[in-house]
Amino acid sequence: MKPVRSMVFSMRLPAESGRRLKRIANRHGWTPSDASARLVEEGLRRSEFAFLDFRDSPAGRQAYIQGSTLAVWEVIFLLRSYHGNVAAVAKHLRWPEAKVGAAVNYAEAFPAEIAEATAENDSADFETLKRMLPQAAAVASRKTKRG
């Protein structure tokens, strides 16, 4: 038996919700069906993982840690620089360890999503960053003499 890749559901929305769904779909270049599927998936993930939110970013919709400006992949990136030490990252961010743990849980459940975001970050150079953030300015480091 073949595994089921998707399921068809029919739902009835209030007219105003339907209009809002169409606006979101148009803003992202999605069909209303794609938008509703994405929003349902995001809602399911929010209910399954603590401290999780989804936001639009220059790289598209991403999972973020609630109450912060950090995407989950950024927390995992930082965690790698701390050799997986959750307590050290929590101290660095001034977060409870549970928030860092929430990022770890999400990353373990969706490793391909995290790997893709990390790879995209690794491939970005200053020119790429400048296109996404026009206010970015190059900073040159200066060596200072110690007296």
**Phi-psi group of 47: left, alpha or beta (phi > 0 → left; psi -120 to 50 → alpha; rest → beta):** alpha
Region 112-135: what's the mean pLDDT? 85
Q: What is the pLDDT at residue 128?
A: 76
Domain that holds residue 41: 16-48
Region 33-62: what's the mean pLDDT? 94
Question: Does one domain contain both 54 and 41?
Answer: no
Q: What is the pTM of this model?
A: 0.80
Do the beta carbons of residue 33 and residue 68 sit within 8 Å?
Answer: no
Binned at pLDDT 50, 70 and 90, residue 129 comes out as confident
Question: Does one domain contain both 25 and 69?
Answer: no
Pull the structure tokens for residue 7.
């399921």
- For the chain, the average pLDDT equals 90
The residue with tokens 């991403």 is 62
Whether 9 maps to a domain, the answer reads no
What phi, psi does 103 have (nearest 5°)? -65, -40
Question: Does one domain contain both 68 and 44?
Answer: no
Question: Does one domain contain both 75 and 140?
Answer: yes
Do the beta carbons of residue 129 and residue 136 sit within 8 Å?
Answer: yes
**33 vs 124: which has the higher pLDDT:** 33
Pull the structure tokens for residue 47.
């209910």
Q: What is the pLDDT at residue 120?
A: 86
Question: Does one domain contain both 63 and 109?
Answer: yes
Question: Does one domain contain both 93 and 120?
Answer: yes
Whether 36 maps to a domain, the answer reads yes
